[in-house]
Structure 1
Amino acid sequence: MSYQQFAYLYDELMKDAPYDGWVQFVKDRCVKYNVTGARLLDLACGTGELSVRLAQEGFQVTGVDLSEDMLAVAQSKAEDVGVRIPFFQQNMADLVGQEDFDVIGCFCDSLNYLQTEEEVIATFSNIFEHLTDEGIFIFDVHSIYKISHLFINQTFASSEDQVSYIWNSFPGESPNSVEHELSFFVLEERTGKYDRFDELHFQRTYSVQQYSNWLTEAGFEVLEVCADFENSEPLSQSERIFFIARKIEKAI
């Protein structure tokens, strides 16, 4: 997937995202599950908004993303606030060559951008190999309910002076998947005219049980499954599902 101009518009689209909630969630789980180290890999870090915030909270953050443009924005953010974060361009399904981390996070439903079951399985396996013993993996995904009832066949729009967008969502070809068709209209201040940028994005999710099975098969112990930044189990209409898993020693 090429993010092209979307990399520079992503923060506009995500300006109301609960970033503070993700940061607090990570901090709380590190305390709850006795994580003593501070090395954290922000997988699919995007424009680095969470990477920077986590670094400001004392984590030793490394960021990985597939998009060169996203990483350019992320690097600029880190430099602007004076935090040092190494960023690397990699596909999360082909993660190699990184050090071991105490925490690996894949936030903002980024895992849902993987298109096949095989890619999810490979990602879980690679994450296992890059965690310290007893390290934890935290990620969140869209629920099947959200994909099916809150995205598919829905239209979202925003109209502002500098940037406007129209966002249409359609059923994907795979089960529990959605295609997002986004059109951005960005003001060119020199001419007073709007430039149009179009993007197509694919997301796919699975059941809680399926994610849990894949984690277990990869060698993880599933510590907790909760929803919507709460400490309670997912309900039928929960929208965002959180998983916390610990690396355990594989049987020889």
Structure 2
Amino acid sequence: MSYASFAQYYDSLTHNVEYARRADYLCTLLAHLGHAPGLTLDLACGTGSLTVELAKRGMDIYGIDGSADMLSVARQKAAESGLDLLFLCQKMQKLDLYGTVDTVICALDSINHLTLEKDVQTAFDRVSLFMNPGGWFLFDVNTVYKHRHVLADNIFLYDTDEVYCIWQNHYEEKNDRVGIQLDFFGREGNLYHRSGEHFYERAYPQEQLLHMLNQAGFDVVYRFADLSLEEPGEQEERVVFAARKKK
């Protein structure tokens, strides 16, 4: 899917993500791992907010996303920040780079958008294929706990200067999958323009992700609580994985 409507309002609805703080955290995590990031890929970069923040910190980085609409916003954002960044339109499971990279970052539950196990494995395989030996793959996922107890069948409302959004979830227990319906009411003067998106997110057991990473050629894997260097707890909503490509 293109996420065309979502791209238009994504930044307005994610202002609380604290991209600068997340960029600082990722730099701290890489230092904790003793890894100089080198050439870095921001996989599933969306509208490029994190890509831009990491570039501002001196990281040699470029972004890839499957949505041309998201990337259009990302390119404009980079230009407004005075940065000349490369953005490519590719799906995670069809990653095809010009050469190898030293670090891959995939943030904000992008892996959860791959709802088939084979697509997750293929994405991990592609990341490994284009990663230099000893490189690190950092990504985060929404947990099974979050899907069952936080997202579940709940409804969330967002009211910003730009848009009023109704976020409705439908939880499918069989695959820990959540169907997400977003209805946007964009303000245009005294009128509203309605649009919407529907997609799914799937939560994978952490042991399953560890197995997939091993199958893809990653030999060392650490797990952290979100924005932390501590181990995740049982009720963690987001877990950060750090996986090293075999040397």
| TM-score range for the pair, normalised by the shorter chain length | over 0.9
Tell me how far 1:102 sits from its aligned partner: 1.2
- Counterpart of 1:165 in structure 2 is 165
Aligned CA distance change for structure 1 residues 83 and 160 (closer, same or farther; 3 Å): closer
TM-score, normalising length: structure 2: 0.96
Counterpart residue type for residue 83 of structure 1:
L
- Superposed, which structure 2 residues align to 1:182-193 within 5 Å? 182-189=182-189, 192-193=190-191
Alpha carbon RMSD of aligned pairs, Å? 1.4
Q: 1:161, 1:52 → 2: CA distance?
A: 24
Q: 1:225, 1:98 → 2: CA distance?
A: 30
Deviations 1:35-78, CA, capped at 9 Å, x for gaps: 23421100000000001001101111110000001000000000
Aligned CA distance change for structure 1 residues 161 and 34 (closer, same or farther; 3 Å): closer
Does residue 52 of the first structure (1) align with residue 56 of the second (2)?
no
Deviations 1:78-130, CA, capped at 9 Å, x for gaps: 00011111100001001013321111011010111002000000000100011
Q: 2:16, 2:37 → 1: CA distance?
A: 30
Q: Which runs of 4+ in 1 moved over 6 A?
A: none
CA contact (8 A) 1:222 1:243 kept: no
Does residue 122 of the first structure (1) align with residue 122 of the second (2)?
yes
- Counterpart of 1:96 in structure 2 is 96
- Counterpart of 2:113 in structure 1 is 113
Does residue 5 of the first structure (1) align with residue 25 of the second (2)?
no
Q: 1:211, 1:126 → 2: CA distance?
A: 15
Tell me how far 1:232 sits from its aligned partner: 2.0
Q: 2:98, 2:64 → 1: CA distance?
A: 10
Tell me how far 1:163 sits from its aligned partner: 1.2
Does residue 239 of the first structure (1) align with residue 207 of the second (2)?
no
TM-score, normalising length: structure 1: 0.94
Q: 1:169, 1:178 → 2: CA distance?
A: 6
Aligned CA distance change for structure 1 residues 35 and 231 (closer, same or farther; 3 Å): closer
Identity over the aligned pairs, expressed in percent?
A: 35
* Ranges in structure 2 where 5+ consecutive residues have no aligned partner: none
- Superposed, which structure 2 residues align to 1:196-215 within 5 Å? 196-215=194-213
- Counterpart of 2:26 in structure 1 is 26
* Ranges in structure 1 where 5+ consecutive residues have no aligned partner: none
Tell me how far 1:31 sits from its aligned partner: 1.3
Q: 1:137, 1:174 → 2: CA distance?
A: 29
Tell me how far 1:169 sits from its aligned partner: 0.5
Counterpart residue type for residue 221 of structure 1:
D
Q: 2:146, 2:173 → 1: CA distance?
A: 17
Aligned CA distance change for structure 1 residues 84 and 238 (closer, same or farther; 3 Å): same
Aligned CA distance change for structure 1 residues 145 and 38 (closer, same or farther; 3 Å): same
